[in-house]
């Protein structure tokens, strides 16, 4: 993993934290809208899918061991969960899966990426029916490089999953979702190698809003 990719990842996390700090300012629009949403369901559980853009050493095409050669892929967040506990703060969780073909390789060479994360969420109404969610989650990420349709090794490691999402409530029990964020992990491979994983994930989808 290069120093440059590490710096980029650090800047992305710092920028995410800055957005949270701005959202916490007193007298925000969220305070004006919150009173109209007291009786709204506090939880949502849905699915999102969209492009996944690798960067850093994961997308590096150079001929060196740490180069992942990952191309543009997709992110499927099978479980996209959130629950507001107080006026703004809550918890969030995700189970997601990515696939990325490898650069300069056959179509049967690709990366499989799967993650399970959970962490705090800050929700802020920004307009009638529209909620901004800031989520900083942590968990486990696993990766598998598939070459000639065979798994050659696999890796695992701690992951940071920082995302910004928008929810638009179309019905008391249903809402539309859109989100974007960064997944950052350093993988320890079973063959003794190391692989940095840096992915910009995006997605749109739908969620159910239970009464609990």
pLDDT at residue 40, rounded to an integer:
77
Question: Structure pTM?
Answer: 0.79
Kindly tell me if the per-residue pLDDT of 45 is higher than 80. yes
Is pLDDT larger for residue 129 or for residue 36?
129
Arithmetic mean of pLDDT over the chain: 87
- 115 CB burial (10 A radius; 0-12, 13-18, 19+): buried
Q: Which of 17-21, 27-31, 76-80, 190-194 has the lowest mean pLDDT?
A: 27-31
Q: How much is the pLDDT for 211?
A: 85
Quote the pLDDT of residue 32: 46
pLDDT of the residue at 148:
86
The whole-number pLDDT of residue 31 equals: 47
Output 194 or 148, whichever has higher pLDDT: 194
Q: Which CATH architecture has domain 3-208?
A: Beta Barrel (2.40)
**Structural contact between residues 145 and 14, judged by C-beta atoms closer than 8 angstroms:** no
Q: What is the pLDDT of residues 189-202, one digit of tens each?
A: 999 999 999 999 99
- Would you kindly state where each structural domain of the chain is located, as residue ranges? 3-208
The more confidently predicted of residues 23 and 145 is: 145
């Amino acid at each position: 993993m290069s120093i440059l990719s590490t710096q980029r990842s650090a800047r992305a996390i710092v920028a995410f934290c800055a957005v949270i700090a701005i959202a916490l300012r007193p007298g925000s629009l969220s305070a004006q809208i919150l009173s109209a949403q007291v009786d709204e369901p506090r939880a949502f559980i849905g699915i999102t899918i969209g492009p996944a853009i690798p960067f850093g050493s994961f997308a590096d095409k150079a001929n060196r061991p740490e180069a992942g050669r990952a191309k543009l892929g997709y992110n499927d967040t099978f479980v996209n969960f959130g629950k507001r506990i107080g006026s703004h703060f809550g918890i969030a969780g995700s189970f997601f899966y990515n696939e990325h073909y490898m650069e300069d390789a056959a179509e049967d060479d690709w990366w499989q990426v799967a993650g399970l994360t959970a962490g705090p969420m800050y929700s802020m109404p920004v307009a009638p029916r529209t909620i901004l969610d800031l989520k900083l989650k942590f968990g486990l990420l696993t990766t598998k490089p598939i070459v000639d349709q065979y798994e050659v090794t696999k890796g695992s490691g701690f992951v940071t999953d920082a995302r910004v999402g928008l929810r638009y409530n179309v019905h008391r029990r249903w809402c539309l979702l859109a989100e974007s964020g960064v997944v950052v992990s350093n993988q320890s491979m079973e063959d003794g190698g190391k692989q940095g994983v840096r992915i910009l994930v995006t997605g749109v989808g739908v969620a159910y809003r239970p009464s609990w």
